[in-house]
Structure 1
């Protein structure tokens, strides 16, 4: 059984390109650790960058991308189920599994084996929370987390009121039903983090945002709206889908959309790093390598670290 290799990092750090090159070297397959790339048709805004999965003409197999319809609300419980199914299939074929992504909650739920249960919607609670601001919801969520001792649902993944309400719904359910209903098998992994200088990260984020907007991101989101997906459902996904949808329906001007979205992505990247540092405090060893290293050096570092841990 091959040890899982995990490659994580903030947005714009180049982690997907690195993971694909490592997969090409090791004849591996990639499991996505991204909460939004699961949605079909949401390509540019989620940064799937599927061209990164082709290395020297070789198509790198990937999993957990394009597995559900836009407008639906995929969740952590479903991710664990889908991850385990794909992971076990890869292991059965004796192929190297590589987990790659920037959604710390999803990655940590696998590495630390979170025990989760499917949480039903609580319409009474939702009606009580309707109309509250994101700040009020965040404060309520923090209070619940203190009672449950939860490390889930930090501000990385609750950047809209809808997402915050769902997080409160989950934490409330867990407070009222504290039993661990479903065991998740422990998965041993060597974890590599791609570190990128703050100023370089900010520049890459801005450049990438311009490129994605010029590359059809607005048209992609207008197309989803034209298919009948409600604007509020797209806004729920946050970041690009929140701000570009608000521009598409006339709530924001183009300049307002760009400025607010750019700030939001910078803040998101900062929160991602905060989550990864929290993972380290909670016991996950992350081996950090620099984003600016040549690709060959980064690939060699990943392979050497994996080989060393497998020898122990």
Structure 2
């Protein structure tokens, strides 16, 4: 008996070849790709976020270039957009393929996180922003509602959001929203450390050659504040600081290379957390595209 899959998910760290695999799979299965990348939603942030739109060929893709750079987009909005796009793809009788490296976004839609709709408390954020990570972690762990949801505390910014949620839950009750019935099959690209590091360094050099610094300067010239670009992190943060005179070009590249390696490590840590939270991930250890497709076809006819 043929089983119809509700959703195929392909995740992995940066520079692991997720897009190429998702595109090849979409062509094979008559699929459409839903991006799960927290920064590819912004127009004008192309090189730094690795959109590589030419890779998609004639495969339809969604949730890329939906906002102007300078705007704020979060996981709650992603959940709403994802549910809408998923319904649209299903209405066309095509296979939805969720592809990306933002683990929080992926887990939120697969496990229907309700706390993402909790409003922001800007006064609380202002009171926490300059406190050290260790101090914030201790504060969070001491809150009565800290263990009532799957908090991502991997960064200073996300830890503040976790505190915000936990404090809101002390005085409010969540109302569960109806969610689409999703039965995902999840594949994760698992590169060995040396290959992952080589891929990251090689791609970073290519992005500098393609005009990454010029892209950040153009965003600044359009009126997007340096603070906002720094908020977007990684390439946009460190290159903005370089353009402000904080780092030489050589220092900029070196700091960015280290930061991306650290980011990839955090991504893998989060994916392992997803497994502990009950999501089964079929890990792909092969490096070639053909071998990766062959692995997936063991699970997907």
Measured in 2, the distance between the counterparts of 1:141 and 1:236 equals: 22
Residues in 2 aligned to 1:135 and 1:243: alpha-carbon distance in whole angstroms: 24
Note if 1:19 corresponds to 2:22.
Answer: yes
Over 3 Å counting, the alpha-carbon distance change for 1:250 and 1:198 in structure 2 is same
Is residue 20–residue 55 contact of structure 2 (8 Å, CA) maintained in 1? yes
Question: Which residue of the partner structure matches residue 96 of structure 2?
Answer: 97
Alignment size in residue pairs: 298
CA drift at 1:255: 2.0
- Match for residue 215 of structure 1 among 206, 210, 214: 210
Whether 1:227 aligns to 2:214 is no
Secondary structure of the corresponding residue to residue 130 of structure 2: coil
1:117–1:259 Cα change, 3 Å: closer
Displacement, 1:140? 4.0
Distance 2:289 2:283 in 1: 15
Contact 2:145–2:167 (CA under 8 A) maintained in structure 1: no
Give the direction of change, closer, same or farther, for the CA distance of 1:136–1:69 in structure 2 (3 Å limit): farther
Superposed counterparts of 1:154-173, under 5 Å: 154-155=153-154, 158=155, 164-173=159-168
Q: 1:238 to 1:144 in 2, by over 3 A?
A: farther
Paired residue for 2:192, among 175, 185, 197?
197
- Tell me the residue number matched to 1:87: 86
| Contact persistence 1:38–1:67 (CA under 8 A) | yes
Does the C-alpha gap of structure 1 residues 203 and 241 become closer, same or farther in structure 2, counting only changes over 3 Å? same
CA contact (8 A) 1:116 1:180 kept: no
Question: Hey, what's the Cα distance between the residues in 2 that align with 1:170 and 1:287?
Answer: 31
Which is further off, 196-205 or 146-155? 146-155
Report the counterpart of residue 249 of structure 1 in structure 2.
244
Deviation for aligned residue 1:214: 1.4
The CA distance in 2 between the partners of 1:183 and 1:176, in whole Å, is 23
Mean Cα deviation higher: 220-229 or 162-171: 162-171
Cα deviation for residue 117 of structure 1 reads 5.2
Secondary structure, in 3 states, of the residue corresponding to 1:283?
coil
* 1:123-168: CA deviation from partner (whole Å, max 9, x where unpaired): 321331243345544554555597243323231xx3xx55654454
In structure 2, how many angstroms separate the alpha carbons of the residues matched to 1:117 and 1:272? 19
1:206 aligns with 2:204: no
Q: 2-side partners of 1:252 and 1:137: how far apart?
A: 29
Distance 1:126 1:154, change over 3 A: closer
Distance 2:256 2:173 in 1: 38
TM norm structure 1:
0.88
Q: Could you list the runs of 5+ residues in structure 1 that have no partner in the other structure?
A: 308-312
1:302 aligns with 2:296: yes
Contact 1:13 1:194 in 2 (8 A): yes
Bigger shift: 197-206 or 118-127? 118-127
In 1, distance between residues paired with 2:142 and 2:71?
A: 28
Closer, same or farther in 2 for the Cα pair 1:265/1:145, shift >3 Å? Answer: farther
1:38-57 correspondence runs (5 A) = 38-54=41-57
**1:299 shift after superposition:** 1.5
Instruction: Give unmatched runs, 5+ long, in structure 2.
Output: none
Instruction: Say what the alpha-carbon RMSD is for the aligned residues.
Output: 2.1
- State the Cα deviation string for residues 33-55 of structure 1 (Å, max 9, x = none): 1111111111111111112212x
